[in-house]
Chains A and B, each alone.
Chain A
């Protein structure tokens, strides 16, 4: 008992010298390690494939590329129909983030500070939109955006993604705002701040992490969604994910380029996670721990 405690204590700094009651320290480290391995192996396989030629992929089965090549990536970076997909995706994701957070801020403030006629119902109704299956909306969206002449534009996709991102942003921001004491608002009014000035100068910095979390989630769900973005675009605003599906069906077997495109779609997400790594845990709890 003490020997184990000693060996743990030897390696773990600071307060964790308090002997933990884990089910054995070795098992404790094994579980996350195995889980991470499970997560990374399929991704590794994709990266592995992206560095091989098509001949190598189909002819020899190798755990790592025998003749590593960047040719697949070159195809993507030189062909506008490929790289414009990335640009399109990023454009509508950023537009969606901006729109969602901007409209969600005042609404979340109202929900966190005021009681008003029908507030609870409204809040639930908003949340129901997060529960709406995109498949239900695919066709009506197509007709609606075609009718107003927005078909195949970035803004169409950005607005369509608001369907699930706005309710989520309201929900997240409301959680963070409720954590800010109401006295702050009152003090600011007494100090002679007008509402807009108070909101921008004092309140928004206080919930900056909440805004970050909301933006992160908008990014996440807009970036990963395919059904709506594919339905609402054909050429000019076609997202990278949709470009990928078409290439598969067209040429059928260009595995190397497909893998390379897949790897490149993981990169923006990985970058974003890296930047927000210190807020991930709290962020995923939506400020409601």
Chain B
């Protein structure tokens, strides 16, 4: 187990990258604390897998340094890094039995057969594979295969970190949940550093203590699930996390007032000078909006037209329009939705201000 430090990391797949657009992974500095459960969340093509492969050593970064517990491993090949990686599709050695699969990394390192045997049995027990050891690996189900590829990583003593590259893609939904809780259990028991790549926010939020959100080759926010929800550091995070995502509206800000579509709204805090020429927006989650009849509304209300109402079970989503802009509002299941003359009520404390996509700190 180790603390993994990334410093000044950048990677381009081109031999001679010129502009920042040539980089799959832009400037990155980050520390993965020992024993942390991290999720690396982002849409396809945002550089998650590249980052993962850099950590495991499959890719050597164009620039920057990777340190495991302070030791520079940038130039070490994967087999010398003590990294376990579980891939999107189960990777197992078809012709071997489960036992042989688990013993493979140890045999490659010329470990004594006795020690191999003990270790393999221990890991198999841990993953509930004890009864399957003699079976041909290729005849197993997808989730058992994923467990084997996980086990092949765990079987080595002193695993620095376990990396997961969307490991549940091919698993049946009801088993997904089971496997995920087994992972969490393993994490609590053994305190591995785990990095879990996914594009599924539910997976990320339920698995991880800390979520790292990536967008177009950059880390846009690192935080707990709550932080990501309440204070998205980037409009992308607001939009990507939550269902429906955060509402983003262009606005003008002066002090603790925002002006959208000609209506003035109070803000929870005062803002200083915003960068000149920046695209200024406010963002608020649909959960922190409510609907009211015009005239009855108190506080920060803006007139809106309601276009559609979706019933999603425990609550309803009202699709409204303020001026030119779509705004989603979460309405309680039993609440009344005014058919016309409605307005959207904002919770000032929950409004975030963004300049060029990045969140602006209050005060300043």
Q: In whole Å, how far is A214's beta carbon from the nearest beta carbon of chain B?
A: 29
Nearest B residue to A14 via CB reads B13
Q: In whole Å, how far is A25's beta carbon from the nearest beta carbon of chain B?
A: 15
- Compute how far the CA of A18 lies from the CA of B302 in the bound complex, rounded to whole angstroms: 54
> Any chain B CB within 8 A of the CB of A226?
no
Q: Which residues of A have CB within 8 Å of B75?
A: 2
Q: Which residues of A have CB within 8 Å of B13?
A: 13-15, 17
> Any chain B CB within 8 A of the CB of A11?
yes
Nearest A residue to B75 via CB reads A2
Q: Which residues of B have CB within 8 Å of A5?
A: 60
> Any chain B CB within 8 A of the CB of A9?
yes
> Any chain B CB within 8 A of the CB of A19?
yes
CB-CB contacts of A7-38 with B at 8 A, as 1s and 0s? 00111011101110000000000000000000
> Any chain B CB within 8 A of the CB of A1?
yes
* Contact indicator B15/A19 (Cβ below 8 Å): no
> Any chain A CB within 8 A of the CB of B91?
no
Nearest B residue to A2 via CB reads B75
Q: In whole Å, how far is A13's beta carbon from the nearest beta carbon of chain B?
A: 7
- Compute how far the CA of A14 lies from the CA of B14 in the bound complex, rounded to whole angstroms: 7
* Contact indicator B77/A1 (Cβ below 8 Å): yes
CB-CB contacts of B2-31 with A at 8 A, as 1s and 0s? 000000000001110000000000000000
- Compute how far the CA of A11 lies from the CA of B14 in the bound complex, rounded to whole angstroms: 9
A18 contacts which of B14, B15, B59 (Cβ < 8 Å)?
B59
Which secondary structure characterizes the binding site on chain A?
helix
> Any chain A CB within 8 A of the CB of B53?
yes
Q: Which of B15, B53, B75 neighbours the largest number of chain A CB atoms within 10 Å of its CB? A: B15
Nearest B residue to A12 via CB reads B15
* Contact indicator A13/B15 (Cβ below 8 Å): yes
- Compute how far the CA of A14 lies from the CA of B77 in the bound complex, rounded to whole angstroms: 19
Chain B interface bracket (under 10, 10 to 19, 20 to 34, 35 or more): under 10
Interface residues of B in 31-45 (CB under 8 A from A): none
Q: Which residues of B have CB within 8 Å of A2?
A: 60, 75
- Compute how far the CA of A2 lies from the CA of B74 in the bound complex, rounded to whole angstroms: 10
A11 contacts which of B15, B53, B58, B59 (Cβ < 8 Å)?
B15
- Compute how far the CA of A18 lies from the CA of B13 in the bound complex, rounded to whole angstroms: 10
Q: In whole Å, how far is B89's beta carbon from the nearest beta carbon of chain A?
A: 16
Q: In whole Å, how far is A14's beta carbon from the nearest beta carbon of chain B?
A: 5
Interface residues of B in 51-86 (CB under 8 A from A): 53, 58-60, 75, 77
Q: Which residues of A have CB within 8 Å of B77?
A: 1, 19
* Contact indicator A13/B58 (Cβ below 8 Å): no
Q: Which residues of B have CB within 8 Å of A19?
A: 58, 60, 77
Q: In whole Å, how far is A89's beta carbon from the nearest beta carbon of chain B?
A: 45
Q: Which residues of B have CB within 8 Å of A10?
A: 15
- Compute how far the CA of A19 lies from the CA of B78 in the bound complex, rounded to whole angstroms: 10
Q: Which residues of A have CB within 8 Å of B14?
A: 13
Q: Which of A1, A2, A13, A17 neighbours the largest number of chain B CB atoms within 10 Å of its CB? A: A17
- Compute how far the CA of A5 lies from the CA of B75 in the bound complex, rounded to whole angstroms: 10
Nearest A residue to B12 via CB reads A17
Interface residues of A in 251-280 (CB under 8 A from B): none
Q: In whole Å, how far is B100's beta carbon from the nearest beta carbon of chain A?
A: 20
- Compute how far the CA of A14 lies from the CA of B12 in the bound complex, rounded to whole angstroms: 9
What are 18 A-B contacts with C-beta separation under 8 Å?
A1-B77, A2-B60, A2-B75, A5-B60, A6-B60, A9-B15, A9-B60, A11-B15, A13-B14, A13-B15, A14-B13, A17-B13, A17-B59, A18-B53, A18-B58, A18-B59, A19-B58, A19-B60
Given contacts A17-B59, A17-B60, 14 further A-B contacts (CB under 8 A): A1-B77, A2-B75, A5-B60, A9-B15, A10-B15, A11-B15, A13-B14, A13-B15, A14-B13, A15-B13, A17-B13, A18-B58, A18-B59, A19-B60
Q: Which 4 A-B pairs have the closest CB atoms?
A: A18-B58, A10-B15, A2-B75, A14-B13
